[in-house]
Chain A
């Protein structure tokens, strides 16, 4: 087993690390991390965009697949 990397191997390692970091940054940007705080004022935070939270009544939520407890308070 080699204890020391050659210059070319080091360069490849650094390039791979930079590439992975770059991909992570691009992914974070694509999923909205770069504008996270800003999203509170955007349509994605509108009440009717909140999927299972606001689409139903308290009673019907249980029948449509809700769960007991803090998330739904359905009968057991």
Chain B
């Protein structure tokens, strides 16, 4: 039977031409990026410092040092036919190297445009074949994201996102070592309504079109975030997500719901404490719970230290599920401890460093280091 999804046309934007124009400089992409940033900043300086026309540039680099990595199909094990990492961000594998460049430009008091580029490199993945031999492949992902934010009123803004991603080295199935490229488009639209700090609503709706190995999938996601100040020192925040993909041939579609709650308390010691609880359930018998705590402390007016701990436990009572096939036992648990130090220099520069230790009941254990630099012009 012909899948109606095959008839869907992927948006066809000549990214090769854009890529060639932006990055075909002698020496490769890094010098090209620096040249464009110099041009951008020269233009920003020419306009002059203006509160309504600021430019912001941000760089981030993250390195994950795997102490142990023996999970056979860590990345797309759960829903390999759909190739979405999104449903289980808490237990997806973490790329070894990740870079981010983000440029934000405000055009007057109401309009802000943001362009972002991610590059993720997972390094070597290991896959255990049926005969016990081991295959290796490299996985990397490029992600181009643009966000437009338009303020309709003082307390109401509208945002829209267009995103293109290209991931190479995707495993076609949890049971095969064959790989293919993934191309994906995402369109998202949402509102942010903030009533004077005491009620905040952020609904958004996303559409995804992905293609891997000739198979096309589409998906929709509905997100809703609500924040309520219970007093001048206490706030409650709830985030709900619903994700839906259509069936592909005989493969059933994936649906999941996630609800996350935060209870935040301010203490007179210039401290914010967040108690977190995340619950996730999908239509393939997967259920997970993730409690956590975060403590943020002002060390002085410009320096914030954040300590956090998160526990995650996912179980699946279907022994035939991909989840059960990929892990040892029927339960996956992880614990993550992290420390973030963030400091503002000269009012327009923010530098942050992060360290995280991550351990699981499977053969995955790592240290993660991150440095970030943000500059306002």
Contacts and interface: CB of A to CB of B under 8 A. Distances in A.
Interface of B: 58, 60, 62, 84-86, 89-90, 92, 94, 98, 100, 102, 116, 118, 120, 141, 143, 145, 147, 149, 159-161, 163, 165, 167, 184, 186, 188-190, 192, 195-199, 202, 204, 206, 208, 210, 221, 223, 225, 227-235, 237, 239, 241, 258, 260, 262, 264, 266, 272, 274, 276, 278, 290, 294, 296, 298, 304, 306, 308, 310, 340, 352, 354, 356, 368, 370, 372
A39 B86 contact: no
A5 interface: no
Nearest to B210: A76
A51 B199 CA distance: 14
Sort A-B residue pairs by CB-CB distance and give the 8 closest, nearest first.
Answer: A69-B188, A42-B232, A43-B266, A45-B197, A48-B296, A70-B159, A51-B262, A40-B197
Nearest to B200: A50
A70 B188 contact: yes
A37 B60 contact: no
Interface stretch (A6-14, A16-24, A54-62): A54-62
Nearest to B262: A51
Size band of the A side of the interface?
A: 35 or more
A44 to B, nearest CB: 5
Interface of A: 30-33, 35-40, 42-46, 48-49, 51-52, 55-60, 62-71, 73-76
A39 B198 contact: yes
A63 B340 CA distance: 15
Contacts of B116: 58, 73
A59 B60 contact: yes
Contacts of A52: 237, 239, 260, 262
Contacts of B94: 63
Contacts of A70: 147, 149, 159-161, 188-190, 192, 202, 204
